[in-house]
Chain A
């Protein structure tokens, strides 16, 4: 049996380092685990949708360059919950927090 921690999946494609750090911090502050994976896909919507569907918790984040998106399992591809182009530090932190709050069934920030 393979035991994996239930975690939020973050699929990246050459991500912006600062954005990635802040998003991870947002998730960490909410106390949820996350896993990072660098992918071949370069489409943001595909990345987010795949991350959400692969995550046991059903919450996924995509970061491609300076683009970031939050997606949840059950939603159609492209219907991201949040997506940013060139997000600020605060927006990244909130995006991360929201991916965790989605699982905790708390209102988004």
Chain B
């Protein structure tokens, strides 16, 4: 699966502090550790504290790239922040833009902008699109799938192939009132999203969101990851530094016959 390391995000206090104090070594250390742990991409989110979001994005991108070859996942709901990051990003190693809804009240064309930016980033420019529109996050299965279908067809009209597209069916915290049926709804939506194109679009999720505010965060994340992988999810923004979590990835891939079994399959996965 495609693993996107979530730690370089201004919402985490250590990253927030590092941004405020321009402490490069904290960011570079997180980049290196996540890479060793098995991240295929490193998510880069400036958070909400920085006044100059575009400038902070550029500082983060340059700081990470200075010592780490892992492709980046530029994470912002603001196209100009993404564009600023793209200006300094080395896109030849691949890049993922995260993320755009189908449309917004304030910006009907937001998806077009993100697709164009991903397209301009070269053949390995990829995009995460959310099953969400100006009406907000859907609660049911059908609306999620309908939005995903619109996203896929819009991308294809623009010549942006499904292989470069990651659909995020949006997982909500399980402890929010009335949200407990959402995990199952997301899985049922995944079952259908994978048939929207051939080859299928990737299916990604912001995994840690499901356990926000709960006890047993790691356990909830791990179990839901295993469930989602069996429903066609093939990418997640997640805590790669959680060893138990990475063991779930290795085991799920082995059980789904994506990795050949050996008695040391956990070790084999790490060394892959």
| A associates with B | no
Q: B residues engaging A (CB < 8 A)?
A: none
Q: A residues engaging B (CB < 8 A)?
A: none
